Amino acid sequence: MTAFPTLSSKQEIEEGAVLAPKFDRDGLVTCVATDARTGELLMVAHMNAESLKRSIETGEAWYWSRSRGELWRKGETSGQVQSIVEMRVDCDQDALWIKVRVGGDGGCCHTHRRSCFYRTVPLRHEAAARLVFA
Q: Domains in the chain, please, with CATH?
A: 10-133 (3.10.20.810)
Predicted TM-score of the model (pTM): 0.87
pLDDT tens, N- to C-terminus, the chain (134 residues) = 458 989 889 999 999 999 999 999 999 999 999 999 999 999 999 999 999 999 999 999 999 999 999 999 999 988 999 999 999 999 999 999 999 999 998 888 888 899 999 998 888 766 556 677 76
**DSSP for 16-63?**
-SS------TTS-EEEEEEETTT--EEEEEEE-HHHHHHHHHHSB-EE
